[in-house]
Amino acid sequence: MEASGSKSPKKYLDQATGALRELGIAPTKADFTPINVLLDKISDLDKDRVAVIAQTLSQTEVFNEVVRDQTSAMDIGQRYEDIAKSFNSIRDDAKTMVDQLADGKTDIFERVTNIWMKLTRGDIAARFDQIRATYLDVTKSTKDQIEREGKILDAYQDFRGALKQAEVLAFEVLKEANGKLDAAKGALAKVADTLSQYKGEDPAERAKLELARDE
């Protein structure tokens, strides 16, 4: 069942699911799929191949969901936006403080405004420290997410390999099915020909020939 120089569908699938488990993503047990009804009807052709095909196809939705959900779950973009907003607030508050000093004195309203600014947003030095901490954190998260997404996509690539190998097995099963169909057609033609050539008058013998044709 394994082509030269390539992995079997089961090896591809085991490798893909193993990679997800290493990332802490346990692939859920595949739900029953309608295709299993059809595959069950042809399992007598090649039980092993059909079982592998069914197992691979049953994981399709699982891997599609993992790629869709896990590669869009991070909030990195939002945190970069928070950094930009913090810089904007520093710029605006610094400009306000410079404007306050333009007349050489700070009145009571301006002092209250400055106190409120520090209480609500923190002083400028503290906000620079927060920006630095956020930047280092988001940079690390970005690196981790890129590596994580790379591993997930590698796992998905292995799953696609399993699907392609399952397709190879499906064509092999189809070839075997066509062979059995041709043999059945040949057997049917033979008994039908025997029936058509029967010229006897014995009803029982004719009934036997008709039964052989129908079977």
In a shared domain, residues 84 and 97: yes
Whether residue 35 lies inside any domain: the answer is: yes
In a shared domain, residues 101 and 136: yes
In a shared domain, residues 82 and 137: yes
Whether residue 130 lies inside any domain: the answer is: yes
Inform me whether the pLDDT recorded for 15 exceeds 70.
yes
In a shared domain, residues 24 and 37: yes
CB 58 within 8 Å of CB 13: no
Whether residue 113 lies inside any domain: the answer is: yes
CB 159 within 8 Å of CB 16: yes
- Calpha distance 170→74 (Å, rounded): 38
Inform me whether the pLDDT recorded for 129 exceeds 80.
yes
Instruction: Quote the number of domains for the chain.
Output: 2
Whether residue 66 lies inside any domain: the answer is: yes
Where among 103, 124, 142 does a domain terminate? 142
pTM of the model: 0.56
- Calpha distance 41→39 (Å, rounded): 5
In a shared domain, residues 80 and 138: yes
End-to-end CA distance of the chain: 33
In a shared domain, residues 20 and 121: no
Q: Residue 182 has what pLDDT?
A: 93
CB 62 within 8 Å of CB 27: yes
- The pLDDT of 85-108, averaged and rounded, is 72
In a shared domain, residues 151 and 65: yes
3-state secondary structure of 198: coil
Q: Domain residues for 126?
A: 76-142
Where among 123, 142, 161 does a domain terminate? 142
Whether residue 27 lies inside any domain: the answer is: yes
Q: State the chain's mean pLDDT as an integer.
A: 79
Inform me whether the pLDDT recorded for 26 exceeds 70.
no
Predicted confidence band at 209 (pLDDT cuts at 50, 70, 90)?
Answer: confident
In a shared domain, residues 53 and 80: no
In a shared domain, residues 18 and 123: no
> Which pLDDT tens digit goes with each residue over 145-202?
778 888 888 888 888 888 898 899 999 999 999 998 999 899 889 888 888 888 888 8
In a shared domain, residues 63 and 165: yes
Whether residue 182 lies inside any domain: the answer is: no
Whether residue 45 lies inside any domain: the answer is: yes
Whether residue 186 lies inside any domain: the answer is: no
